[in-house]
Amino acid sequence: MQIEIEKLVYGGKGLGRHRGRTFFVPFTAPGDIVEIRETARKSGYSEGEVLKILKRSKNRTAPKCPYFGRCGGCDWQHIDYKAQVEFKKNILEENLQKIGRIKKPNIDEVIPSPSPWHYRNRAQLKVKNGKVGFYAKGTHEIVDIDTCYILKEDLAGAIPGIKELIKKLATEPAEVHLYSSSKGEVILKLVYQGKFKKVTLNLEEIRDILKINVIGFGIYKTGESGYPERIKFFGKDFTYEHVDKFKFRVSADSFFQVNRYQVGNLIRKVSSGAMEYQYLLAGDLYCGVGTLTIPVGRYVHRAFGIEASFPAVSDALFNKDINGLRNISFYCRETEEGIEIVKESNPDLIVIDPPRSGLSQRIVREIASIPRLKRIIYVSCNPSTLARDIALFYQHGVHMEKSKLIDMFPQTFHIETIAFLRKVR
C-alpha cells in the first residue's frame, strides 16, 4: 500500500494513514511518500515497513554509518540534523499538549548539540561468538560493527582492538563497557554472565591492544539485579570531568551525562533556575555524582542530593570537597525512602532528573505538598512520562511555566527536556 508520512512520533517512527487506519513506519521522514507492507496489526493501529520510497522528503539525507538501518543504536541518520531537532520540538510540544494537558506549552529555547557526531563518551558493547556491536532494533541479535559515528573518536576507533582483545581472553565476556573522559582517560569493564576463566592480561597489554589510554579495567559479573557486580579492578577506577569551573570525579560504577558537548549547557540552564531567586534550600533527587547539585549549590544557601547508587554518592561527597562547597549534603537512599528526607528538610527548590519511567504518583504528591516549595526544575529524557508527571503536578497546584529542549542524543529519537514548574499559592 502507499502512504504519505505526516509526522514523526516519540519512538522514532513515521506516522501515516491508509483508508483511515494509522500506520507507524520506521526509517521514514515527514513528506515521504512510501510503499509499505503491514508487519503487525494492533488494536487501533498497524506497524509497517518500507518497500520503496516513491517520493523523498526534503529533510532526507544520506546516512553516514554503513550499519544504519540494521544496528539499533540510531533511528534518524537518514534525516538532516537541523530537521531532527525541529521534529523533536514538535514531538515534545505534542506530548505536553496531549498528555500534559497544556494548551500552549512554552518551549522557550531549543539547544542543538554543537556536534551531532562523536558525542557519546560511554558505550556498552554486546559480545557473542566474536561479534562486537549493538543489538538490532527489537532483537537480541548483535550487529557486528567496526566503528560507530556517535561514539567519541577514541572509543569508536577502539572497536577493532576490542575484537582482538576478546580473542586473547580465556572466556568471552557478554559485554564490554567503556567510558572516556574529556581528557581521553578510558575506563574499561569486562562483563561476564555465568562462569568464566581468569583474565591473565595486565593493564599495559590491554592498552597496547586497544591503542587508547585505558587507565583501569574491571572484571564484572551480571548479578541477580541484572546490573554488573564488580569482581576485581586493576589500575585507576575513576577519572575526572572538567565542565566550566566545576570538576567531577566519575568512578567506574557511577554515571555521567553521555553527551560531552551538552553537559555544560545542561548545567548552565539548570543553574539559571537556581539564580533567579534567593533560595534557602535546594533538594536534588536522582543526583548521581552531584552533576547538578554542586552547580546549583553555588547559588543557594544550602543544598542536598539523594541518590540510590553508593558509588555515585561516594563520588558526590568527594566532588563537593574538590569544588570547595561546604553547604551541600548527600544521602544514599532509594527515592521512595529519600522522599522522607525531602519532607523533613522542607526545601523551596527541587531538582529532579529521574530515569525514563519518570516519577511515581506518590513522589509527585509528596513533592507538591512540601510547604515551602516554590520551584521544581525537572530534567527528563522521556517527553511522555514528563508530560504525564506535569499533568499530575498540575492537580496538586504545581504548574509548568516554560521548558527547554536540549538535544543530548543526536541521530536518535530520545529527547532531553528541562521543565521549570512553579507552585501556585
Closest CA to 269 of 416, 71, 90, 165: 416
Closest CA to 379 of 408, 342, 416: 416
Strand partners, 421: 376, 400
Question: Based on the number of CB atoms within 10 Å of its own CB, is 170 exposed (0-12), middle (13-18) or buried (19 or more)?
Answer: exposed
Question: Based on the number of CB atoms within 10 Å of its own CB, is 82 exposed (0-12), middle (13-18) or buried (19 or more)?
Answer: exposed
Residues 410 and 264 sit within 8 Å (Cβ to Cβ):
no
Closest CA to 21 of 95, 90, 40: 40
Alpha-carbon distances of 71 from 121, 191, 200, 382, 425, rounded to whole Å: 19, 21, 32, 22, 50
Q: In this structure, is the dihedral angle defined by the CA atoms of residues 204, 205, 210 and 215, taken in order, positive or negative?
A: negative
Alpha-carbon gap, residue 352 to 419, rounded angstroms: 10
Strand partners, 258: none
**Strands across the sheet containing 122-128:** 142-144, 131-135, 122-128, 175-180, 186-192, 214-222, 228-235
- In which region does residue 44 sit, left (phi positive, over 0), alpha (psi from -120 to 50) or beta (all else)? left
- Per-residue DSSP letters for 70-106? TBTT-S-TTB-HHHHHHHHHHHHHHHHHHTT--SS--
Tell me how many degrees the CA angle 318-324-325 measures, rounded to the nearest 5.
85
**332 catalytically annotated:** no
* Single-letter residue type at 247: K
Catalytic residue among 74, 148, 332, 381: 381
Question: Based on the number of CB atoms within 10 Å of its own CB, is 104 exposed (0-12), middle (13-18) or buried (19 or more)?
Answer: exposed
Q: What is the largest CA-CA distance in the chain?
A: 65
Q: Residue 43 corresponds to which cell in the numbers above?
A: 488494536
Kindly list the catalytic residues.
Answer: 381
